[in-house]
Every structure is written in structure tokens, then in C-alpha cells.
Amino acid sequence: MADEQRKCGVVAVIGAPNAGKSTLVNQLVGQKVAITSAKAQTTRARLLGIALHDETQMILVDTPGIFEPKRRLDRAMVSAAWEGAVAADAVLLVVDPVKQRRHELMPLLEQLKDRKERKILVLNKVDASKKEPLLELAQELTGEVEFGEVFFVSALTGDGVPELKVQLAGMMPEGPWHYPEDQVSDASERLLAAEVTREQVYAQLHDELPYDAAVRPESYTQREDGSVEIRQQLVISRDSQKPIVLGKGGRRIKEIGEAARKELSEILGQKVHLFLHVKVDEKWADNREVYEEIGLDWVR
Ligand SMILES: Nc1nc2c(ncn2[C@@H]2O[C@H](COP(=O)(O)OP(=O)(O)OP(=O)(O)O)[C@@H](O)[C@H]2O)c(=O)[nH]1
């Protein structure tokens, strides 16, 4: 399809832990996206999945850190998380009406008020909640923030999700897809792989390299022998960080790569060849735009 007919945009999916974000994303994407929550908390956007609807590509991201209970009341932190957040084309607030009450959501609602993006309220788990309290909560929340739309869905059964997807697709701006069509199918694997490596980087270098590295997926190729070849860049911002990342005789990076490779093989159920290259990119730290952060190439 020609680019001019296409639409593409970013949807920020936010909500408290257990609200059902991952389940909802899986339903929107239409397949199991194996990306699990990153242990490392950063303020960067994280790709959750890519949903397609006709000619529209929707990139679903979240903004880790916003809802960490420890930090929930720390407004500075919350706004920092938002600062790092993408200027999305739509923001989905996913709420569990069984467990959550208005006051618990207030810190986030306060932040949402100031956001310019179009907002959608998703009351999830309708299969498990009674109608009256559900409607009451919807009314309370819409009294706090101007939501363009309210959806009642069950991410578990899929109830209401197709309608939500159509609505979202309608909100995406015209433009070329950020993912080439033939890569959408393994885009989540590519990013999952980068996420796994990133977790290893944080786990092994946490104290020495706080939040100062990114993993960019370069390629993800299925080999004929049934194994998968994954190439990634470990991007750091200064030359002086190189010895830390490499370690003596390159031992550090080897260990990181080996741990990531093992974990990936387990997750993917395939033999994995992982090639990890260190790249110094001074501008990386200043260039925190979402496409960079989540390893997307802009495709024209
Ligand atoms: N009954 C019911 N349970 C749901 C629904 N959606 C999600 N759940 C359940 O709620 C729990 C949390 O769902 P997740 O999708 O992992 O929630 P999350 O918001 O991604 O959680 P974090 O990763 O901790 O942020 C899981 O046990 C889901 O099966 C729903 O529509 N109905």
C-alpha cells in the first residue's frame, strides 16, 4: 500500500500494576507478545507491542516508573517519568475497577490533566465487576480528567477490545509506518531480545553505569538450521565507559551476552546466536525520542 494512505502513531498505555495492561496489549496486537516487565526502572518508553488495523500501525508503549508504588507519591519522580515519556498520539489509562478507587489514581490523574494528548479511559475486567460500581467509578474519573472516550472492556475475554482498537486507529495521524511491513511479525521478538539484553546490562553493571546505556536491535534473522541470529548494539554515551562495559579482556560484555543469549534461547525455544557490539554515541543521552529509545528505525 502506498505510504500516503497509511497511518501510524504512538499509543501510551498507562495504569497501575495488575490493571491488565499486558493482557490488553496482547489482545490489541492479536498475538502473545512475550515482552515482560523490565526489572530496571527507567523513565524511558518501552515498547509493548505493535497493533495493526487495516492501513494503520499503532505502536503501543508504556512509561515505566510512573506507577511504582514506592515512588507513587513522589511527584518529582512522576513528572520526570512523564518528561521522559513520549508525546503520544493517544494515552490509554487502564483501570481495574475491582481493585482501584479514585483516590489511588489521583497522582496519575493529576499528571494526566496537564497532558495534551487525547486520552481514553479503559475500564478493564468488566467480566469480574458489577455494573453499578463500574459506572460510578467511570463517572468519578471522567469528572477529574477530560477523557475523549470511555471504554468498558475485558482484556481477558476480548470483550470490547475490537471497538477500542477501531477507535485508536481512527486517532492515529497519517504517515508512513515506522516498522516495515515484513518486520512487524518479528518486531516484538527483536525488541524483546533487546529488552532481555538491557536487563542483563543493568543487572551486571547497575552500579557502574546507571541508566546510561541502551540496547538497539540491529537485526533478527531466522537461520535455515532453525536457530536465530540476533545482532544488537550496546550504546553508551562516553568513551570512558567502554572499559566498564567491556571488562578485562572483554570478559564483561561476554558475560552479559552469554546471560542474555541463554535467557533468550529459553524464552524463544530456539538456539540463539547473539552478537553484541559496543557503540559510543555521545548524542545518545540527549536524544531520548521514542523511536531511538525503543530501537526503531524510521522507515521512509
Ligand atoms: N477477570 C479479568 N482478569 C484480567 C483481565 N485483564 C487482566 N486480568 C488479569 O489481571 C492480572 C494482571 O494482568 P496484567 O495484564 O499482567 O496486568 P499489567 O497491568 O500488565 O500488570 P504489570 O505488568 O504489573 O504492570 C492477570 O492475572 C490477568 O489475567 C480482565 O479483563 N478480566
Q: Can you give the pLDDT at residue 184?
A: 54
* Mean pLDDT in order along the chain per 10 residues (300 residues): 74 84 85 41 57 87 53 41 60 89 81 84 95 92 94 96 97 82 60 82 76 76 91 88 91 95 88 93 55 39
Rg (CA), the chain: 20
Distance of CA 170 to the CA centre of its chain: 21
CA-wise closest residue to 86 among 190, 178, 207: 178
pTM of the full structure: 0.66
User: Sign of the C-alpha dihedral, residues 32, 34, 36, 40?
Assistant: negative
The answer to whether 242 is annotated as binding is no
Domain boundaries, the chain: 3-171, 181-293
The CATH superfamily label for domain 181-293 reads K homology (KH) domain (3.30.300.20)
CATH superfamily of 3-171: P-loop containing nucleotide triphosphate hydrolases (3.40.50.300)
Ligand 1 centre distance from Cα of residue 64 (Å):
16
Query: Which ligand 1 atom minimizes the distance to the CA of 155?
Result: 31
- For ligand 1, residues with CB inside 6 Å are 15, 17-23, 37, 124-125, 127-128, 154-156
Task: Output the pLDDT for position 220.
Answer: 84
Q: What is the predicted pLDDT for the residue at 87?
A: 64
